[in-house]
A and B are shown apart, each in its own frame.
Chain A
Amino acid sequence: MKNWIVALITLLVLSPIVAQKMLTRTGVIHFSSETPIEKIEAESAQVASIFEVTDKMIAFNVLMKSFKFDKALMEEHFNEKYVHSDKYPAAKFKGTIINDLDLANLNLNEFVQVSIKGEMHFHGIKKTIQINGKIKLNDNSSFDFECDFPLTLSDYNVEIPSLIEEKIAKEVMIGVKANYKKS
């Protein structure tokens, strides 16, 4: 009996170490706002992300100031007037893959569709969302993850002045790409 308890405790203590943790610091998040008048795009290639294979947990962190725009002025307005980067420096997401899949034993080099349910933290607002994406186990045992999803700006209190309402889409498209390697 006692041995059993000791074993259980050891397992509990050790389990986070055993859990297969994959990560990247160079994930890419791209977003675009498209209206008939103007297309605005930006990209950050400094996205940090952790993927815990056994827990099916996936989390992202991106600094707003790491988004690069074509025009420096747009970048400045984005940070100063829309997402208020000094106040809310990062966007974060943490979610769980809800599909019944054994992620550690996926078919090699084959994308599998996944749904992730989790919490988005952006511009001071927390919101539960579900994202559809795909995941692939590579030969070198790294994982590729990709997803696209729309984000409604008003859900996160990002205000668009009525003067330029026609230039900025109410819903921006977010694209995420990450390649996870063992930590």
Chain B
Amino acid sequence: MKCLLTILLSTSVFFKVVAQDNDIFDELDQITTKSNDETIATFKSTRVLLGQSTERVRKKQLHFRVSHVFSKIVGISNFFGLDNLNNMHFSFEYGVTNHVQLGISRSNKPDKTYSGTIKLSLFRQKSGTRSFPLSITYNGGVDYKSREYTPQKRDEYLEGRFDYINQLLISRKLGEKFSFLIAPIWVHINLTDAFEDPNDIYSVGIGGRYLVSRSLSINAEYYYTIPSFDTHSSKKDTLSVGFDVETGGHVFQLFFTNAFALHPGKFAINQSGDFFKRDINFGFSLLRIF
């Protein structure tokens, strides 16, 4: 009897000691206020390469971004395209709230286009008790083509200078390193250059990134344009491959692409070259976060 009691006693003391160790952390877990469990850093930049990603400009932050694309890589004769700067696009984007950002941008080619953009973070990928599998963002824009048109009547026709962009960006980060994006886009052109061209063109962007090291990722992006016009050639859909390099407050992107246009109203319907026939341009962009 006594022996039994001793065993009982010693085990109860033992269990108390053991239990306490984990108990205290369990207890702490229970009283800890759960913080925001949104998935972060799905992409390093607000663009996959040319097209928008689900990354956003946060509240009261300003992003300045410049991208360049050089001319077609021929060889040493044009210093692999670097002799000619083919296009330049720059943008300022401001976070009104964590979920609403407004931007203005200018793209040199092909139409000297000014754009006003809005990006709304509708849903964010989340883990934990209120988990959600995807980040879903709306990206909209109005393009104003400021170039000179001929004949004069065309030049004076203001409505003919506007294009409208509506795009849905849907992304998911799978593990620490891999993220992908699906981005259907609808471009409405008020006045097309050729009579038989459609006013509405639809395209589906797919993109992804793989983190090689913590400051470097490999990215790829492809916009599949739905064949709805005569000059369409699926070989000329925009394909870009490149890297993100991140250094503190900057993100550099270096890429090869068959596109020369750098704004979504154009590259999403881009018909400018066949990537696999070496119609490739080198480009880069620089994002500075203030």
Contacts and interface: CB of A to CB of B under 8 A. Distances in A.
Interface stretch (B20-28, B70-78, B154-162, B190-198): B20-28
Nearest to B30: A48
Contacts of A135: none
A61 B25 contact: yes
Nearest to B39: A86
Contacts of B8: 9
Range class of the A interface residue count? 35 or more
A63 B34 CA distance: 8
Contact of A73 (B5, B33, B249): B249
A16 B127 CA distance: 35
B176 interface: yes
A72 B61 contact: yes
A22 interface: no
A65 B126 CA distance: 13
Nearest to A24: B31
Contacts of A26: 33
B28 A73 contact: no
B284 to A, nearest CB: 19
Interface string B127-157: 1000000000000000000000000000000
Contact of B24 (A5, A86, A87, A94): A94
Interface of B: 5, 8-9, 12-13, 16, 20-21, 24-25, 27-29, 31-37, 40-41, 58-59, 61, 127, 176, 214-215, 247-249, 289
8 contacts: A46-B33, A48-B28, A63-B34, A72-B59, A79-B40, A87-B176, A94-B24, A161-B214
Given A50-B27, A94-B24, A161-B215, 17 more contacts: A9-B8, A12-B12, A16-B16, A25-B33, A26-B33, A46-B33, A59-B25, A60-B28, A61-B25, A61-B28, A61-B29, A65-B37, A80-B214, A81-B215, A86-B127, A161-B214, A164-B248
